[in-house]
Amino acid sequence: MVEKLEKIISQSQNIVFFGGAGVSTESGIPDFRSVDGLYHQKYDYPPETILSHTFWEERPEEFYRFYRDKLIVKGAKPNAAHLRLAKLEREGRLKAVITQNIDGLHQAAGSKTVYELHGSTLRNYCVKCGAFYDVDFIANSTGVPRCPRCGGIIKPDVVLYEEGLDEQVLSGAVSAIRRADTLIIGGTSLVVYPAAGLIRYFRGDHLVVINMQPTNADAEADLCIAKPIGQVLSEDVVVEE
């Protein structure tokens, strides 16, 4: 399976990678949807409710408590998958990474063309004056983070439920998928829309799915690999020409 993937990669000149939470979990970042024992004791609402625009407006203290606890992860480093994708980009084979993740690990690994569909925890803005604040400002604040300049609420640059995706990011991602000769889908079950709907724009030669669970794209894929993505993309496979 992995040998077949490496052969596809070696024959491709315009690869696009479309990834989700499974790419980050191998760097120790838990999927916020995963339910743990603590979650039931600490929060009165499901994650999808807390991470909605309405909840952010109506219960900001509770929103930021969950956000700091679950979405800001300190010390996470890029894993083998992030590093391999960055290397493929340097080699000129991979043209874009499209990610549903908000942790900035693709950029930390060296990837340059990254379309962050759901934004990033590394960027935060005052809703009143637009001043920029980094992730540490939110992490080290208490209660509702306020702008020292004007007193406005500082909001993470992440797409909450009920909010639309950034049009520029979306059009860039669609354009990249349209041009790709190979689309590798990794670490996502393709259940979150509208992001998951982007793969319908793919018209290339090879569709590859690397995910531990079945996905909606498996039926159309040339290759499905049910293994951890870091393991699959680590470079210890020799391809025979």
Name the active-site residue from 40, 53, 106, 118: 118
- Per-residue pLDDT at 240: 42
pLDDT of residue 106: 97
188 is in an annotated binding site: yes
**Which residues touch 216 (CB under 8 Å, ≥6 apart)?**
189, 190, 191, 196
Give the Cβ contact number of residue 214 at 10 Å.
13
The answer on whether 224 is annotated among ligand-binding residues is no
**Is the separation of the CB atoms in 139 and 133 below 8 Å?**
no
Give whichever of 21-30, 147-156, 212-221 has the largest mean pLDDT: 147-156
Annotated binding residue at 54?
no
CATH 3.40.50.1220 range(s) for the chain read: 3-29+75-118+164-233
What one-letter code names the amino acid at 122? L
Task: Please tell me the least confidently modeled range out of 30-34, 51-55, 93-97.
Answer: 30-34
Q: Is 32 annotated as a binding residue?
A: yes
> Hey, which residues does 97 pair with through a beta bridge?
17, 114
So what's the pLDDT on residue 36? Answer: 53
**The pLDDT value given to residue 112:** 98
**Which residues of the chain are in CATH 3.30.1600.10 domains?**
31-72+119-158
Predicted confidence band at 233 (pLDDT cuts at 50, 70, 90)? very high
**Does the annotation count 118 as an active-site position?**
yes
Q: Which helix (H) or strand (E) holds 172?
A: helix 167-179
CATH topology of domain 3-29+75-118+164-233: Rossmann fold (3.40.50)
215 labeled binding residue: no
Residue among 31, 17, 145 at smallest CA distance from 82 = 17
- Give CA–CA dist 35/11, Å, rounded: 41
User: Known binder of ligand: residue 129?
Assistant: yes
Is a pLDDT exceeding 70 seen at residue 83?
yes
21 annotated ligand-binding residue: yes
Task: Kindly report the average pLDDT of the chain as a whole number.
Answer: 91
Residue 186 φ/ψ, nearest 5 degrees: -140, 135
Does pLDDT of 239 surpass 50?
no
- Tell me: pLDDT of 206 over 50: yes
The pLDDT of residue 135 is above 70: yes
Q: Residue 208: CB partners within 8 Å, gap ≥ 6? A: 5, 8, 182, 183, 184, 185, 221, 222, 223, 224, 225
Q: How far apart are CA 142 and CA 123, in angstroms?
A: 18
CATH number of the domain at 31-72+119-158, out of 3.40.710.10, 3.30.1600.10, 3.30.1490.190, 3.90.380.10?
A: 3.30.1600.10
